[in-house]
Structure 1
Amino acid sequence: MPTINAWSWKHLRIVFILLSLILSLNILLSFCYPRTSYNIESLKKADFYRPIFQEYLDTFPTLHQIQKKETNKLEAIYDHCEKLWNGQATDIQINSSINRKGHALEYLPRNMLDNCDDYFTRRLHFYNTEPVTEFEENFPIAFSLLVYHEFDQLEQMLLALYRRQNFYCIHVDNSSSEQFKSLVSKLAKCFPENVIIPRHPTDIVYASASQVRGELNCMIELLAFSDKWKYLINLTGEELPLMTNLELVTVLNKMKGSSLVDGPLSLDEHNRYPESKLPFGLKKFKSQTHVVYPYDAVMFLKENQNLTDTLLQFLEPYKYPEESFFALLQFNHHIQFPGGLKKEWSETKLPVLTYETESNSYFLRYKNWAFQKNYKCLSKKKQRNLCMIGVRTLPELVNEFYGRQMFINKFPWSFEPFAWDCILSWNYRKVQTEYKTKKPALLHYSFLDNPQLKFTRKYDDK
């Protein structure tokens, strides 16, 4: 019978000791970092991990480590992004950023949303669930999002927008793929207290009345879901905020009940309106499709369904009715739309935006139209006459339009993805600074210089 010599016994003892140490360490870590169930309640109270045994945790490929790695990626690119928008990047660095493929945040494994606990563990660092101040907490915003594809982009939009006190309606186009619909449904179920999907979605067709019906669908659902929110902002699936939530709240509070649309725009396009008179004695107006509405304005749309239905039916045969619907309500003062104009448009002497208007003369969105005066598309790529956002657009966004406009429009997911990552990183850094200082970074909001605000109905109007 073979025997184990002293040398072999020595090695066995070493192996036994090592196994004992590993087992003891695992037991110790299980007490320090127990498995946490991140349902919606625990997510509200969650704080960032502050590991004591970081040198040991770094050796384990846990969800926490994936999460930390992704956070570091978002923070790591900030310095490089800062060089881009401060004009300090070399041509080589700029071209490298333009040609970079993929996004800083890793895409979610498609099965991760099957378990919300796993999802929150992975993304916990990015969801700024806690309001920065009590003022922000007491001013909930409702967001409606019309989307039809690119789930990862939608998920990262929600990362940038999410606060526990806000409300979100995600309208998924009926024509979207079944996989996209399923993923959005799973995402919403992880936020049962403030993220909803309309029960009867609209089949949206570009430049048709169905776009307005999709918007109204979400607005009515948000009214039914909660009466706590103060303002509503409508969004599409290719946008990111130029302002943090605290900055948005600061601006909306100072609007004092005003509604806003960007316009009115020139009426020189053909086939936008019939020759016959509009219903309800309305005068013709056109605007951008983006709105900022106080709660009362959205309630007005619900309570005056005959007005909205008649108006949509009248506009339906013509091109781009979504550019007329909101403008007709806003600028026809006799409708008495909450937050709309309180006097005849001609009396305000406000300008009409035309083709001769300076590029990016809007307030709700950064939108660079190809047909406007001084148009210059820095990314050299446009879609439906809109300049797409790219790396070379970053200096303009951060240095010129921050504080003037609320959101950035036309951010295609696969076009120069590093530009998207930089804005996401910039927003993330701003929010972390707000948590430390308890105040927004901006002192002056040129958004509030919008001349419309001088003539809109306010809460304190008699």
Structure 2
Amino acid sequence: MVASIVMFVTNSRLFQTEPIIKFKSISPMAQDRNDRGVMSKNNTIQGQPTSRIAIVPSQSLKSVDNVVFSTSPTIMNNSSENEIHTTCAKKIKGMNISDSDIQRELNLTNSVLEPDSNFTSLNCTRFTADRGYKYKPVTKEEQDFPLAFGILMYSSAHQVEQLLRTIYRPHNIYCIHVDRKSPAVLHRAMESISGCFDNVFISSRLEKVIYASVSQIHAEMNCQRDVLKRNKKWKYFIYLTGQEFPLKTNLEIVQILTEFHDLNDIDILKRTPLLDVNYKFRIEKGGMHRTGHMKTEPCPIKTIKKGIVHTALSRKFVEFLHTSVIAKRFLEWLIDTHGSDEYFFYSLAYLPEAPGGPGQVNLTHSIKALSRLMVWKHHNATQCNGQYVRNICIFSWRDLAWLVTQPHLFANKFNVQYDSLVLKCLEEIINYRTFHPKPVNITLYQEYVNTRTWLDYGKPQPWLL
């Protein structure tokens, strides 16, 4: 039997070319602090109960009748239509779309981009309801497998809030690290957003993040330390930046990570270039610069490994990072190393005593991470239809048909100022699958866990059955 789900509905179709109503401006929301409606421990909003979250067995979610969902946060009328329409759906199916239709959609999504100042003073009761935080179905399977997220950001409260509302579930926990260099208005905006939730908070210690420096590790570990203290139940820590977006629903992420059985989802390259590791660097004019001096202090780890910084780490491994002497000594050794964040977690995960491993496996090939999809220019990839920034693809709406076929949990990177339509479409797709789930091809992921390889730029088997 399908459980009844309380949710908000926006327009009569999931994908609508012409909007019935636009986002309402948040700026008039300024209220006395007593009216902000901060979420309390017992899931009430200052004395009044929140709308009920539907808790249903995952197998009963295979069909949900008379439910539609869209990204617009304004409550409208119910509808029995469950079809996917217009630009996003056509793009997913690889259909041709006229330039005028695309431009109209881009103009629409760009017209509702909100400045950071619009988030600085929120009526939390209205904000959490209008943005859809309260009304997503949550299965017992998800409740039994809570996740911890760390989000490192430096710009665009609008884009980060879109990410947050898409991945938000009341039983997960979310730490947001705002770069200390970021404008004060952005800090106020994120403090205001996080103040509306019991399980979303700003990191207790903020770093001035310098690219390729140890400050990037410190920022992530500050959030790890916070979520370890605040929540004793989460299973995996997923580290995100403000420019990433999910390709999977929360239920799909849980089902996939369950197959890891407490193993880390981590990337380790077969060969490790050690040139930057051997030289000392110093921070100068906001960047890392080589001094010309070789390191003389012996490295506390015999074998240094390198990987991509995006991971999903088991709780036991995160605890190991914060309690082991070897982790502390290695972090100190990396303090003057360029790209230290690309060595720290991966070298420690290669240690035989590291919980979640992979340990000292025979690296006949590089170990791939399923957590993140990235397209690098120097890989001669053909799947970037956006633009490259620092050799990483910034995805556009032209990449949608390919993105939705990929097996990864999240994709990196997106820029709402460059292309807001791709994020709008992805949010609608994820929300639609949240209410209309399909079985995940678990066998495919079980094989991945055993081999740790994936053909990133080919045509993998369908990850949904």
TM range (shorter): 0.7 to 0.9
Structure 1 position 365 matched with structure 2 position 372: yes
Q: Deviation digits for residues 56-84 of structure 1, max 9, x if unmatched? A: xxxxxxxxx97126999xx9985420110
Alpha-carbon distance between aligned partners in 2 of 1:387 and 1:280, rounded to the nearest angstrom:
36
Residues 225-304 of structure 1: matches in 2 within 5 Å?
A: 225-264=230-269, 266-268=271-273, 270-274=275-279, 279-304=299-324
Q: Deviation digits for residues 426-449 of structure 1, max 9, x if unmatched? A: 011111214xxxxx4423464443
Structure 1 position 148 matched with structure 2 position 151: no
Find the counterpart in structure 2 of residue 405 from structure 1: 408
SS of match in other structure, 1:260? coil
Pick the aligned partner of 1:388 from 376, 394, 415.
Answer: 394
Return the structure number with greater strand share: 2
Structure 1 position 339 matched with structure 2 position 344: no
- 5+ long unaligned stretches in structure 1: 1-34, 49-64, 354-360, 435-439, 456-462
Alpha-carbon distance between aligned partners in 1 of 2:256 and 2:137, rounded to the nearest angstrom:
16
Alpha-carbon distance between aligned partners in 2 of 1:243 and 1:432, rounded to the nearest angstrom:
13
Find the counterpart in structure 1 of residue 23 from structure 2: none
Larger Rg: 1
Alpha-carbon distance between aligned partners in 1 of 2:112 and 2:196, rounded to the nearest angstrom:
20
AA matched with 1:350: T
AA matched with 1:363: L
Find the counterpart in structure 1 of residue 69 from structure 2: none
Residues 99-248 of structure 1: matches in 2 within 5 Å?
A: 100=107, 102-103=109-110, 107=114, 110=118, 113-123=121-131, 126-127=132-133, 131-192=137-198, 194-248=199-253
Deviates most, 362-371 or 421-430: 362-371
Residues 61-76 of structure 1: matches in 2 within 5 Å?
A: 67-68=74-75
Pick the aligned partner of 1:318 from 320, 323, 337.
Answer: 337
Alpha-carbon distance between aligned partners in 1 of 2:95 and 2:427, rounded to the nearest angstrom:
20
Q: CA offset at residue 294 of structure 1? A: 1.4
Pick the aligned partner of 2:349 from 327, 330, 340.
Answer: 330
Contact 1:170–1:196 (Cα < 8 Å) also in 2: yes
Q: Deviation digits for residues 318-367 of structure 1, max 9, x if unmatched? A: 2211000011011232xx1110124x33xx343037xxxxxxx6522110
Alpha-carbon distance between aligned partners in 2 of 1:426 and 1:250, rounded to the nearest angstrom:
18
Find the counterpart in structure 1 of residue 364 from structure 2: 350
Could you say if the C-alpha distance between residues 324 and 131 of structure 1 is closer, same or farther in structure 2, counting changes exceeding 3 Å?
same
Contact 1:129–1:164 (Cα < 8 Å) also in 2: no
Q: CA offset at residue 202 of structure 1? A: 1.3
SS of match in other structure, 1:114? coil
Contact 1:174–1:202 (Cα < 8 Å) also in 2: yes
Contact 2:92–2:401 (Cα < 8 Å) also in 1: yes
Could you say if the C-alpha distance between residues 454 and 116 of structure 1 is closer, same or farther in structure 2, counting changes exceeding 3 Å?
closer
Alpha-carbon distance between aligned partners in 2 of 1:284 and 1:46, rounded to the nearest angstrom:
50
* TM norm structure 1: 0.74
AA matched with 1:320: G
- Number of positions where the alignment pairs a residue of Structure 1 with one of Structure 2: 378
- 5+ long unaligned stretches in structure 2: 1-34, 54-71, 280-294, 454-465
Find the counterpart in structure 1 of residue 285 from structure 2: none
Alpha-carbon distance between aligned partners in 1 of 2:416 and 2:448, rounded to the nearest angstrom:
30
Alpha-carbon distance between aligned partners in 1 of 2:231 and 2:424, rounded to the nearest angstrom:
33
SS of match in other structure, 1:279? coil
AA matched with 1:205: I
Find the counterpart in structure 2 of residue 80 from structure 1: 87
AA matched with 1:416: D
Find the counterpart in structure 1 of residue 457 from structure 2: none
Deviates most, 81-90 or 136-145: 81-90
Could you say if the C-alpha distance between residues 276 and 160 of structure 1 is closer, same or farther in structure 2, counting changes exceeding 3 Å?
same
Q: CA offset at residue 36 of structure 1? A: 12
Find the counterpart in structure 1 of residue 456 from structure 2: none
AA matched with 2:157: F
Q: CA offset at residue 45 of structure 1? A: 4.8
Contact 1:273–1:315 (Cα < 8 Å) also in 2: no
AA matched with 2:329: T
Q: CA offset at residue 161 of structure 1? A: 0.5
> Among the aligned pairs, what percent are the same residue?
25
Contact 2:138–2:169 (Cα < 8 Å) also in 1: no
Alpha-carbon distance between aligned partners in 1 of 2:83 and 2:196, rounded to the nearest angstrom:
29
Alpha-carbon distance between aligned partners in 1 of 2:98 and 2:136, rounded to the nearest angstrom:
40
SS of match in other structure, 2:381? coil
Q: Deviation digits for residues 227-266 of structure 1, max 9, x if unmatched? A: 0111111100001111100011111111111012122254
Deviates most, 378-387 or 37-46: 37-46
* TM norm structure 2: 0.73
Pick the aligned partner of 1:443 from 425, 429, 441.
Answer: 441
Could you say if the C-alpha distance between residues 429 and 128 of structure 1 is closer, same or farther in structure 2, counting changes exceeding 3 Å?
farther
Could you say if the C-alpha distance between residues 45 and 139 of structure 1 is closer, same or farther in structure 2, counting changes exceeding 3 Å?
farther
SS of match in other structure, 2:275? coil
